[in-house]
Chain A
């Protein structure tokens, strides 16, 4: 009686799963599209991690089916309401040894491929190029070591989309102003550190996740097989805008990468020229506003009011709006303020950008000091070691 009943249930479950898992849309979702499962990814390592994930997943599913199967069968079979009477056994050395030994064997079987894969992940040797990745609150900085190319990568989703005033775009919160460009078929060593708190750099399609820790340089590597755009996010809580510092990797062919690299060098040269010339107040204000909105507005707010006490206001502040504060103002932007969230920008922004943003801060939000700070003054202030 119970047997037939169980049979029917088992059949139903079987049919539902066949229909569910074989439906083309769902199958695509389940195995390809990565909206239900880990992405397979675009590197040899990511595929290896994916298959490891699937192996342990199915082992866990089988264990669950067996354990829950016995449990639910017992619950149905030994109901008191159906007249079940309790047996008196309460231990069995052999059974207990067996169900200690079998899981142990399964675990060893899981550990072997996991160890092999991990060893490969740790082998950062023979890299063909190095990229230094530095976490900042709340943006990533990429430096192509030995190439004199470096830049910040900022969230490019407009605030109107976040507040809901505008329709959200396809890559909402996963898009940046300048992606990390990497050549395909090249072993790239990633060196990670942080400028402030701990961040973590994760791109699921590359199966790379590593913490960026102040005072440490962590290593990882990737070798991308297919050109494309791969998106990820910071995965270590790093303060207010932790959810708003995405990662975008653009993988291109080796030729395209060389082209991109020379363009970047040319732009860097143009930027350097900007450090040498005299700027007008209007130019400084225009450039300063864009720098301010990208690098300063997250804490000090677009209107300069800040979020006291953690992030003080610039509008009407001693430092930003008085003649006595001028020297301190430059000092703070260049070297930061220790013991607070104020970062040092002296080594990451160009002299022209720093001059522009200080000029902007001293003339915006009602801080009408009329001060003009030229790149030359910033360069003089920067210590020789910077």
Chain B
């Protein structure tokens, strides 16, 4: 992405600059690895997106037209796995690689070789995962939540490869998290206290701890599957004295914090961009940090709200209902703080701001349907219907993905030295907003009307909403090609960007040249906390 900007910076290099493939294979530079992560994530976004379009094309009208049920199940499964582990998570890691050292005044990540390793595990993991689609019996077809025993006794032979790829992706995440924690805790410029850190850094620090806590649980649960499938154990096999519900407890003990792993860094990005374009200090910095930490802690005690229909005892249902509802409080604080930052600001609407504002609105819609889902008796009617599909897509696509795109538009001038094209960016924004809402809003209705998720064909009363969702899906999917076009153009040239391309942006990343040279902050920079900054007094 930034290849043409490095030539001027090579004199800083500690070793001779490698060229071509070797440079990318062996790089230990946080900016290059960040770029690799982002390119990987974008590739996976399009692969997973194509699968989503296969799903939407089949669901365009009732009846089985394009694909058979077994392939449909592989598409829903792979779409989920790829988007969660291949697109959203690596995108945030890519942004962290690029921006965390720049935001804290560090020369690089704390563990550069580890950084290289954790990236290159990912292409391996996902080639393995994707290759299982071409194996005898097909790829994973048991949903991205891979509930046992459908994913063990009844799974296709390729499941072993699925397990190995999850292991590899998990190791990559754990190593990445260790690296981010080590970087943030040890390599801040001396004047930067923890409570001075930009919120993107704060949210990532908390996210990294979540990753460390739950990825080993995921590794454990897939290992138990491996043993059940190949070595005759019965962890999840009722016939052998095992417990299929144990699988769900373990999976969601990982899975719920995982949900916040995919949204906390998005909160961080929004908390950078809103103040920049409202030209006003973030309202309630401290409460933002505390809210993020509260959400992270609560995320460990709400997992069974994914399991309200498995037959837990009443006391457990009540506990998990109350704990889940409680999450609305710190989440609400975040939204109120952003709105209060906008209040009495001096607001302009550049493309990063547009995506961030849409993020706030759409994430809040997803959050409110989340409150509805927390109410157990009502959840009996919503559970495993398209209402849930609408809910989690609202927090993930118009939520997390919009925040990622906002971050890309916000930091592109720093990466490439040029502004992204404003007109194309606006087209991209409006087409995305219309497409994404046309796709996911009708799903609330199809779910309430009774359409279960993960079905390749449906009763006639759901036809109208599915038609709308499919049209919206194609509109949203195709308009992402504009994003590629904008990024490619921005790498090639455009309106040159100064060090700080945004009038109201604050932070150390804007003190280095645009494009950022390969090596920055060889010596720790001066740092003035935002509270003492003259422009935000």
Q: What's the Cα separation between A341 and B155 when bound, in Å? A: 9
Shortest C-beta distance, B111 to chain A (Å), equals 35
**From A68, which residue of chain B is reached at the shortest CB distance?**
B361
Q: A64-B365, A115-B318, A234-B452 are in contact. Are A243 and B69 (CB under 8 A)?
A: yes
Q: A53-B372, A163-B63 are in contact. Are A232 and B450 (CB under 8 A)?
A: yes
Shortest C-beta distance, B347 to chain A (Å), equals 5
**12 A–B contact pairs at CB < 8 A?**
A36-B448, A52-B375, A74-B347, A90-B282, A90-B285, A118-B321, A164-B63, A209-B309, A209-B383, A209-B384, A211-B311, A219-B311
**From A202, which residue of chain B is reached at the shortest CB distance?**
B452
| Residues of chain A within 8 A of B305, CB atoms compared | none
Contact, CB under 8 Å: B329 / A103: yes
- The contact of A71 among B153, B238, B361, by CB within 8 Å, is B361
- The contact of B452 among A235, A240, A340, by CB within 8 Å, is A235
- The contact of A48 among B244, B333, B377, B452, by CB within 8 Å, is B377
B263-304 contacts to A, CB under 8 A, are 278-287
A193-249 contacts to B, CB under 8 A, are 196-198, 200, 202, 204, 207-211, 213-216, 218-219, 232-244
Stretch at the interface among A12-20, A80-88, A282-290: A80-88
Contact, CB under 8 Å: B380 / A208: yes
| Residues of chain B within 8 A of A310, CB atoms compared | 137, 156
Q: What's the Cα separation between A313 and B523 when bound, in Å? A: 70
Q: What's the Cα separation between A57 and B460 when bound, in Å? A: 26
Contact, CB under 8 Å: A90 / B280: yes
| Residues of chain B within 8 A of A235, CB atoms compared | 383-385, 452-453
What sequence of 0s and 1s flags, for each residue 318-341 of chain A, a beta carbon within 8 Å of any chain B beta carbon?
000000000000000000001111
Answer yes or no: B310 CB below 8 A from chain A CBs: yes
| Residues of chain B within 8 A of A84, CB atoms compared | 344-347
**From A71, which residue of chain B is reached at the shortest CB distance?**
B339
Answer yes or no: A9 CB below 8 A from chain B CBs: no
- The contact of A35 among B73, B142, B343, B461, by CB within 8 Å, is B461
Stretch at the interface among A170-178, A264-272, A373-381: A170-178
Answer yes or no: A75 CB below 8 A from chain B CBs: yes
Q: What's the Cα separation between A149 and B360 when bound, in Å? A: 56
Answer yes or no: B249 CB below 8 A from chain A CBs: no
Answer yes or no: B336 CB below 8 A from chain A CBs: yes
Shortest C-beta distance, B420 to chain A (Å), equals 20
Contact, CB under 8 Å: A214 / B347: no
Q: What's the Cα separation between A198 and B310 when bound, in Å? A: 9
Answer yes or no: B133 CB below 8 A from chain A CBs: no
| Residues of chain A within 8 A of B281, CB atoms compared | 88, 90
Answer yes or no: A127 CB below 8 A from chain B CBs: no
What sequence of 0s and 1s flags, for each residue 44-67 of chain B, a beta carbon within 8 Å of any chain A beta carbon?
000000000000000000111100
Contact, CB under 8 Å: B343 / A74: yes
Question: Residues of B at under 8 Å CB distance from A?
Answer: 62-65, 69-70, 73, 136-137, 141-143, 147, 149-150, 153-154, 156-157, 238-239, 242-245, 278-287, 309-311, 314, 317-318, 321-322, 325-326, 328-329, 332-333, 335-336, 339-348, 357, 360-361, 364-365, 368-369, 371-372, 375-378, 380-381, 383-385, 445, 448-450, 452-461, 536-537
| Residues of chain A within 8 A of B156, CB atoms compared | 309-310
Contact, CB under 8 Å: A173 / B280: no
Contact, CB under 8 Å: A39 / B245: no
Q: What's the Cα separation between A34 and B465 when bound, in Å? A: 13
| Residues of chain B within 8 A of A104, CB atoms compared | 329
Q: What's the Cα separation between A86 and B279 when bound, in Å? A: 6
A90-123 contacts to B, CB under 8 A, are 90-91, 95-96, 99-100, 103-104, 107, 110-111, 114-115, 117-119, 121-122
- The contact of A119 among B309, B314, B333, B461, by CB within 8 Å, is B314
- The contact of B381 among A49, A67, A198, by CB within 8 Å, is A49
Q: What's the Cα separation between A248 and B375 when bound, in Å? A: 27
**From A123, which residue of chain B is reached at the shortest CB distance?**
B314
| Residues of chain A within 8 A of B321, CB atoms compared | 111, 114-115, 118
Q: A53-B378, A103-B328, A237-B147 are in contact. Are A86 and B344 (CB under 8 A)?
A: yes
- The contact of A213 among B244, B348, B365, B454, by CB within 8 Å, is B244
Contact, CB under 8 Å: B62 / A168: yes
Contact, CB under 8 Å: A239 / B332: no
Q: A74-B343, A86-B345, A174-B459 are in contact. Are A114 and B243 (CB under 8 A)?
A: no
| Residues of chain A within 8 A of B70, CB atoms compared | 240, 307
Number of A-B contacts (CB under 8 A): 285
Contact, CB under 8 Å: B454 / A210: no
Shortest C-beta distance, B448 to chain A (Å), equals 5
A38-92 contacts to B, CB under 8 A, are 38-39, 48-49, 52-53, 56-57, 60, 63-64, 67-68, 70-71, 74-75, 78-81, 84-91
Answer yes or no: A162 CB below 8 A from chain B CBs: yes
Q: A75-B357, A86-B280 are in contact. Are A64 and B364 (CB under 8 A)?
A: yes
| Residues of chain A within 8 A of B284, CB atoms compared | 90-91, 96
Answer yes or no: A280 CB below 8 A from chain B CBs: no
Answer yes or no: A262 CB below 8 A from chain B CBs: no
| Residues of chain B within 8 A of A234, CB atoms compared | 452
- The contact of A34 among B65, B361, B449, by CB within 8 Å, is B449
Q: A99-B332, A100-B333 are in contact. Are A170 and B325 (CB under 8 A)?
A: no
Q: A204-B450, A239-B154 are in contact. Are A49 and B385 (CB under 8 A)?
A: no
Contact, CB under 8 Å: A67 / B335: yes
| Residues of chain A within 8 A of B244, CB atoms compared | 198, 213-216
Answer yes or no: A37 CB below 8 A from chain B CBs: yes
Contact, CB under 8 Å: B310 / A213: yes
**From B336, which residue of chain A is reached at the shortest CB distance?**
A99
Q: What's the Cα separation between A173 and B62 when bound, in Å? A: 10
| Residues of chain B within 8 A of A244, CB atoms compared | 69, 457
**From A81, which residue of chain B is reached at the shortest CB distance?**
B348
Max chain A CB contacts within 10 Å: which of B70, B143, B344?
B344
| Residues of chain B within 8 A of A100, CB atoms compared | 329, 332-333
Q: What's the Cα separation between A243 and B455 when bound, in Å? A: 5
Shortest C-beta distance, A214 to chain B (Å), equals 4
Contact, CB under 8 Å: B372 / A56: yes
Q: What's the Cα separation between A110 and B376 when bound, in Å? A: 11
Contact, CB under 8 Å: A74 / B339: yes
| Residues of chain B within 8 A of A240, CB atoms compared | 69-70, 73, 141
